Structure 1
Amino acid sequence: MIEDPKHWFEGVPRVLFVHAHPDDETIITGGTLAALAESGQEPLLVTLSRGEQGEAVPGTVADVDPQGLAAHRMTELAGALAALGIDRHVFLGAGPARAEGLPPRIYEDSGMMWGADGRATAAAEADDEALTAAPVMEVLNDLVAAAHDAGAGAIVSYDNGGGYGHPDHVLAHRAARAVAHALELPFWEAVSSADARAESAVEAYDISPWLDRKVAALRAHASQVTVDGDELVHVGGQRQAIDAVERFRRVIA
């Protein structure tokens, strides 16, 4: 059964969404974020990196070195969140998503390469400042700090394969799920429409009333995706439908 996402977390003080890079929040959960924001539930989005190692659509970014791309993607993210109505956002490693007593830090995009099976895998080399090179407990403590500050009542992130396999997505799932377990919070993982087939435990939410906001947010991420009718074209040329239904599965944290 497809339901209204505004009723998903009724009674939950705030939902914490954990995403790896700018644009993931919109592609995967944009409609749900917009619906919860409109209902006054003030979801908190934590973005783990700034997408330094991503590619860029030709002609969209003046400076495509990692730091220039990061700055550009941060600006795009701000535009996307404005379109979705999201006021509460923080990058991991910056207050309030930083463990008390530690100076701020930037977790950089770990990069990726495509494996023979068509899924993403770890890059041949990762920078010392990469998210996946950081001490696991530091990442966990920063995410705990964010959840505590927000008064989170539930956590949402990717499935255990990170969606398409990106190492930062996989780490996001593991960290978010571990924090949910430690804080005894319910944990939901986002599920693709393909993976949702024959899944009786999947909760589906019709986000069509907020689809225009989701599309506007996608357009804000112009260096990463192009909106072509009812499809999304990724920087690598991959096409996918812009989902008007977003699906989640609750798992035991």
Structure 2
Amino acid sequence: MTIDPWQLLDEASTVLAVHAHPDDESLSTGALIAALTASGTRVELVTATRGEEGEVVPGAVEPEDTRPLELIREAEIDEATATLGIAARHMLGTAPALAAGADPRVYRDSGMQWIREGLAGPSDTTGPDSFTRRPLEDAVADLVALIEHVRPDVVVGYDDGGTYGHPDHVQAHHVAAAACTRTGTPMLEVASGEAPEGADGADGADGRSAADAFLWRDHPGTGETVRRAAESYRTQLGVVGWAGPERSDGIAIRHVGGQDDLVPLRTGLRLRR
């Protein structure tokens, strides 16, 4: 029997979203989170890294601001999560997202480089303390501790493509999948990329069976909230404007590296099996 991931989400009282960096919660799942919180669902967020390796939009930081980038990005994610209505946010490796008896640990941003347009790969300078180099079991144990603390009805995370192949996103998928298996918590995977033409139900175009396909849903009325959340990340992107007829496709943005992108107001989900 095929289980509708949206039914699981609609029936959930508490949802835990798992992301890799500050801004991912807004860019990948902003509309989904805004829709959930507006309907009264409690959403908590855990972020694996502090985004230390991110480039900075020229002029986004005042010359007299000497804070390290991770502190600036912490202020940005605080602003964004408040805008989205997220009830609590956590850093992986910091209690309560820390395995019992473990010393606090920092999972550093692994960095990335573009392999081709729209596809990222590992950075040549990734260090041993990065999220992708530290032992997978450490991160899994930390996320298990948080799941047992929060007791979400479902966990929302990346699919195995990690949205655009960023190594930290792919690692976050593996960590979330393992932690959900260990705790018996349903995991809903967010589709990488945009919805295919006419995809209001199951999308079998990727060669998967109907049970493995994504189901898509629009999130009307979330655009302004998502736009304000995206605007919180001044160091990382610029909001260009609206996209699509009657602003329905999403918010057009330009990343710090000059790449144009879309923050969608539609989400594809599937239940990880």
TM-score w.r.t. length of structure 1: 0.90
**Which amino acid in 2 is paired with 1:214?**
V
More helix by share: 1
Structure 1: how far apart are the matches of 2:139 and 2:9?
26
Conservation of the 8 A alpha-carbon contact between 1:35 and 1:207: yes
1:61 partner SS? coil
Contact 1:19 / 1:157 at 8 angstroms: preserved in 2? Answer: yes
Identity of aligned residues (%): 37
Check the 8 A contact 1:196/1:202 in 2, yes or no: no
Q: 1:8 deviation in Å?
A: 5.5
For 1:156, give the aligned amino acid.
Answer: V
Q: Is the 8 A contact 1:205 1:247 kept in 2?
A: yes
Taking only aligned residues, the RMSD between alpha carbons, in angstroms, comes to: 2.3
After TM superposition, give the deviation of residue 245 of structure 1 in Å.
1.2
2:76 aligned residue: 76
Deviation at 1:234, TM superposition (A): 1.0
Shift, 1:205, TM fit: 2.2
Gaps of 5+ in 2: 205-212, 243-251
SS of the equivalent of 1:9 reads: helix
Cα shift readout 1:12-63 (whole Å, capped 9, x = no counterpart): 2421111000001001101111222222221111000010001111111247
Would you say the 8 A contact 1:16–1:45 is kept in 2? yes
- Counterpart residue identity of residue 186, structure 1: P
In 2: Cα distance, 1:176 partner to 1:67 partner? 31
What do the CA deviations read for 1:163-205 (whole angstroms, capped 9, x no partner)? 1111100000011111111222222211145364561532222
Q: Which runs of 5+ in 1 are unaligned?
A: none
Structure 1: distance between partners of 2:19 and 2:131? 12
Please state how far the C-alpha of 1:221 moved relative to its aligned partner.
0.9
The list of structure 1 runs, each at least 4 consecutive aligned residues, that deviate by more than 6 angstroms after superposition, is: none
Is the partner of 1:54 in helix, strand or coil? Answer: coil
Is 1:244 matched up with 2:265? Answer: yes
Aligned to 1:227: 239
Gap change, CA 1:132 and 1:38, over 3 Å in 2:
same
Partner of 2:210: none
* 2:208 corresponds to: none
Distance 2:196 2:88 in 1: 29
Measure, in 2, the Cα distance between the counterparts of 1:118 and 1:192: 11
SS of equivalent residue, structure 2 residue 128: coil
Matched residue pairs, number? 247
Query: Is residue 102 of structure 2 the alignment partner of residue 97 of structure 1?
Result: no
